[in-house]
């Protein structure tokens, strides 16, 4: 399900940010600050195991770090490669499941990252622990792990929730973005809606989502579905410790999502 979701999502992903280019730079600077605070002078080579279309990977590479990046979605990797090439960045990309942490790479890294709430796509503690053990195995002694997630302890779990992203206008085309969440215990179904209003009178065809409908020749709605585990920050810290990490800490400030850090002992 997650691979299909992100294959369909990748052409639109940048639209979740009001200004994607500004977000790339801002997030990279925030991550750079965290890296230098917690592993000063130790980080040169970074593995991003949930790179998506490259939001964090591109920005960190532009700051001079050496990046290797992987994602479950071939569509996201194809776009990330294209975005890197357009910026003149040399980044090694692979399609891989984060639970294996890019097994094609025998290399060990100074830092591993998994941002944008990617870890909670794993729907139980056992799968998350498997991923954290794989993260640990990909790090050099003294290497760091940095993940960012939603703070689910501050989220309501009642009814069907609507999470608006707003309106984006790109080259005269208007997009309206929102999510719906429907909880079933600790797991919730997420649907991402993209309403595209071309407004040209020439027709915009059908959408690319899994469940698509059109209200007029110029209006297209694309809907993409996935699931998340609403896992708490404390549980994630416990699982990281169980995987072998030390100095595990959580931070709610300094980045647009809560951050959890851990270090493989030297």
Residue 134 sits in a domain whose CATH number is: 3.40.50.150
Name 82's Cβ contacts closer than 8 Å, sequence gap at least 6.
none
Same domain for 48 and 143, yes or no, is yes
Same domain for 134 and 220, yes or no, is no
pTM of the model: 0.91
DSSP strand pairing (92-95 vs 66-71): parallel
Sign of CA dihedral 248, 122, 81, 190: negative
pLDDT mean over 196-203: 64
pLDDT mean over 150-161: 94
For the chain, the domain total comes to 2
- The residue range of the domain holding 168 is 156-229
Yes or no: say if 69 and 92 are a contact pair by the CB < 8 Å rule. yes
pLDDT digits (tens, 9 = 90+) for 219-242: 899 999 999 999 999 999 999 999
Same domain for 63 and 126, yes or no, is yes
Same domain for 235 and 212, yes or no, is no
């Amino acid at each position: 399900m997650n691979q299909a979701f992100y294959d369909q999502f990748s052409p639109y992903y940048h639209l979740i940010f009001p200004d994607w280019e500004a977000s790339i730079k801002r997030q990279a600077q925030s991550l750079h600050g965290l890296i230098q605070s917690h592993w000063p002078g130790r980080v040169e080579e970074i593995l991003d195991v949930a790179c998506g279309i490259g939001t964090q990977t591109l920005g960190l590479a532009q700051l001079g770090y050496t990046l290797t990046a992987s994602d479950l979605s071939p569509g996201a990797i194809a776009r990330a490669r294209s975005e890197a090439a357009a910026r003149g960045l040399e980044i090694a990309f692979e399609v891989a499941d984060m639970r294996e942490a890019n097994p094609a790479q025998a290399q060990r890294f100074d830092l591993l990252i998994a941002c944008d709430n990617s870890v909670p796509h794993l729907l139980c503690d056992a799968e998350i622990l498997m991923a954290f053990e794989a993260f640990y195995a990909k790090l050099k002694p003294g290497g760091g792990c940095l993940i960012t997630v939603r703070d689910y302890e501050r989220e309501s779990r009642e009814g069907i929730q609507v999470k608006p992203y707003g309106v984006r206008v790109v080259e005269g085309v208007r997009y309206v973005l929102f999510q719906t969440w429907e909880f079933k215990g600790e797991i919730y179904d997420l649907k991402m809606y993209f309403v595209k209003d071309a407004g040209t009178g020439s027709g915009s065809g059908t959408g690319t989502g899994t469940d698509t409908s059109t209200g007029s020749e110029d209006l297209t709605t694309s809907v993409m579905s996935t699931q998340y585990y609403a896992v708490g920050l404390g549980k994630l810290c416990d699982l990281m410790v169980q995987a072998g990490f030390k100095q595990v800490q959580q931070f709610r400030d300094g980045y647009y999502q809560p951050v959890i850090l851990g270090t493989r002992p030297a």
